[in-house]
């Protein structure tokens, strides 16, 4: 498999975690979002891979080209079920997906680079942009704190779908200096993930395109 990725893209980070948790090999194909000309993701070569011009994209071992992190992870879950990321029980899976969707649809889009750039175009200075980012990350994490369990990872002793979304979101919170003091459950999950080899392997600090 080939993963089009960028080291600090939280969406790419989610897929790297899922691949690592499942023990799947892949070739990382870095896409520099900050390259000259608006980023490598905006060049014709990459737009032929993903017309949305975003990462990640995954070329599967049978040649399918997939986009959108949740769709990619759900594909991996169905194609390689041996290390499950979702519970067996129906309602539990819905709760796990709800946390992933809360992060992927309600938090992340409000602070990603395209949103930040639009705010700057509208005249927001950096202080206001950071205020915007901090508000939406804090607002979303406050809800996640109430939805996850009181021990282990988000929903049990083994990491799963919700954790693949939460840990990259916490990386973003750290980047933007959003405090986590009010979220003891979330901090517990972060501490567990920090010691887990799959999360370590997927971390932005350990990617082939991480700046030296």
List C-alpha distances in Å: 167 to 18, 23, 27, 107, 205. Answer: 12, 18, 22, 13, 14
The pTM assigned to this predicted structure is 0.97
Angle at 138 between CA 174 and CA 56, to 5 degrees: 60
Claim to verify: residue 158 and residue 117 sit in the same structural domain: yes
Name the 3-class secondary structure at 133. Answer: helix
For a pLDDT cut of 90, what percent of the chain falls above it? 97
Claim to verify: residue 97 and residue 62 sit in the same structural domain: no
Residues in the chain: 212
pLDDT in tens, 79-102: 999 999 999 999 999 999 999 999
- Specify the CATH number for the domain of residue 156: 1.20.1050.10
Host domain of residue 109: 90-199
User: What gap in Å lies between CA 24 and CA 1, rounded to an integer?
Assistant: 9
Contacts of 172-180 with CB under 8 Å at 24 or more apart are 172/10, 172/108, 172/111, 172/137, 173/137, 173/141, 175/8, 176/111, 176/130, 176/133, 176/134, 176/137, 177/130, 177/134, 178/133, 178/134, 178/137, 178/138, 178/141, 180/141
User: What gap in Å lies between CA 14 and CA 27, rounded to an integer?
Assistant: 16
Count structural domains, the chain. 2
Domain boundary among 83, 100, 130: 83
Supply φ then ψ for residue 93, to 5 degrees. -60, -40
Q: What is the pLDDT of residue 37?
A: 85
| Residue 168 in domain | yes
User: What gap in Å lies between CA 61 and CA 2, rounded to an integer?
Assistant: 8
| Residue 211 in domain | no
- Specify the CATH number for the domain of residue 77: 3.40.30.10
User: What gap in Å lies between CA 40 and CA 34, rounded to an integer?
Assistant: 7
Compute the half-sphere exposure of residue 73: CA atoms within 13 Å on the CB side of its CA: 26
Claim to verify: residue 104 and residue 175 sit in the same structural domain: yes
The mean predicted confidence, pLDDT, of the chain is 97
Which residues, 6+ apart, have CB-to-CB distance to 207 below 8 Å?
5, 7, 16, 28, 30
| Residue 212 in domain | no
Residue 38 pLDDT exceeds 90: no
Claim to verify: residue 57 and residue 103 sit in the same structural domain: no
Neighbours of 120 (CB within 10 A): 13
| Residue 205 in domain | no
Domain boundary among 62, 83, 104: 83
Domain boundary among 29, 49, 83: 83
Claim to verify: residue 127 and residue 61 sit in the same structural domain: no
Q: What is the pLDDT of residue 98?
A: 98
- pLDDT band at 199, cuts 50/70/90? very high
Claim to verify: residue 73 and residue 109 sit in the same structural domain: no
């Amino acid at each position: 498999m080939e993963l089009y990725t960028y080291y600090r893209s939280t969406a790419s980070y989610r897929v790297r975690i899922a691949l690592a948790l499942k023990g799947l090999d892949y070739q990382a194909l870095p896409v520099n979002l900050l390259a000259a000309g608006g980023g490598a993701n905006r060049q014709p070569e990459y737009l032929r891979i993903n017309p949305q011009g975003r990462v990640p994209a995954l070329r599967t071992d049978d040649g399918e080209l997939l986009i959108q992190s949740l769709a990619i992870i759900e594909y991996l879950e169905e194609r390689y079920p041996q290390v499950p990321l979702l519970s067996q029980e129906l309602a539990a899976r819905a709760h796990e997906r709800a946390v992933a969707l809360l992060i992927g649809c309600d938090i992340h889009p409000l602070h990603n680079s395209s949103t930040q750039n639009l705010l700057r175009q509208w005249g927001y200075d950096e202080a206001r942009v950071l205020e915007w980012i901090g508000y939406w990350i804090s607002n979303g994490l406050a809800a996640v704190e109430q939805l996850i369990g009181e021990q282990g990872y988000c929903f049990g002793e083994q990491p799963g779908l919700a954790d693949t979304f939460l840990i990259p979101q916490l990386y973003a919170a750290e980047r933007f200096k959003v405090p986590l003091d009010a979220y003891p459950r979330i901090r517990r999950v972060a501490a567990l993930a920090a010691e887990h080899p799959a999360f370590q392997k997927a971390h932005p600090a350990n990617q082939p395109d991480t700046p030296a």
